[in-house]
Amino acid sequence: MTSFKLYYFDGRWTAELARLVFKQAGVDFEDIRYTEEEWPQHKSEMPLGAMPVLEMDGRKICQSFAIARYLAKEFGLFGSNNMEAFLIDELFEIFAEIVNNYIVKIYYEKDEDKKKELAETLKKDSAPKYLNLIEKRLKENTSGSGFYVGSEVTVGDLLLYNSMDGHRKWLGQYGVDMYEGRPLLEEHFKLVGALPNIAKWVQERPETAY
């Protein structure tokens, strides 16, 4: 049986989606969390000198979204046909754009007032077009499951759930909730949060700063 080790810091951010995929699939993995002090000794052991990194039987692979996609495909959480897989990929690209074009800029901005301003602009001007499309996709799934695609849970559901959770927590420090006033997303969040393996993990996972 393959042995999995997931390396990251003691936080959720870019590693949490892979953890959720493991948990939903019921597959064991070693959740290795380096402290900031330990990290410099381990940086050169990682393919790109960054984490998260997944080690499988001694082979290390990197890039958080690629890791989550790989695991989801391995564990049957990537949809039941090519269109479902496409819609999941589309959702990954949407969140990659939100993170790379907006969230990362807020993170690196030094001025506190400017950070708040950027967070408010994200909510008002940039996020709506993405969230409108996500809601449209949810409505297009007429299976009645409430999941993002098809009738079974996929990594698309875990991605949407984890992004909402993380962005709310992080943007909350600037008083911004870009998901506010979107009952369909709220409903989906509750559905995924109530999946037994996810609910159990959310209950027992370490409380971390990010």
Which residues are at the interface with ligand GSH (CB under 6 A)? 13-14, 43, 49-52, 63-64
In terms of CB distance, is 64 or 162 closer to ligand GSH? 64
Report the nearest approach of ligand GSH to the CB of residue 206 (Å). Answer: 16
Report the nearest approach of ligand GSH to the CB of residue 15 (Å). Answer: 8
- Which run of H or of E encompasses 31? strand 30-34
In terms of CB distance, is 16 or 157 closer to ligand GSH? 16
User: Distance (Å, rounded) from C-alpha 129 to C-alpha 134?
Assistant: 9
Torsion 8-12-15-19 (CA) sign: positive
Report the nearest approach of ligand GSH to the CB of residue 196 (Å). Answer: 28
Report the nearest approach of ligand GSH to the CB of residue 143 (Å). Answer: 31
In the three-class reduction of DSSP (H, G, I as helix; E, B as strand; rest coil), residue 30 is classed as strand
Residue with tokens 């007032």: 113
In terms of CB distance, is 34 or 191 closer to ligand GSH? 34
In terms of CB distance, is 52 or 150 closer to ligand GSH? 52
67 CB contacts (<8 Å, ≥6 apart)? 6, 18, 52, 53, 54, 61
Report the nearest approach of ligand GSH to the CB of residue 51 (Å). Answer: 4
CB 6 within 8 A of CB 19: yes
In terms of CB distance, is 99 or 149 closer to ligand GSH? 99
User: Distance (Å, rounded) from C-alpha 192 to C-alpha 75?
Assistant: 17
Give a three-class secondary structure readout of 115-173.
Answer: HHHHHHHHHHHHHHHHHHHHHHHHHHCCCCCCCCCCCCCCHHHHHHHHHHHHHHHHHHH
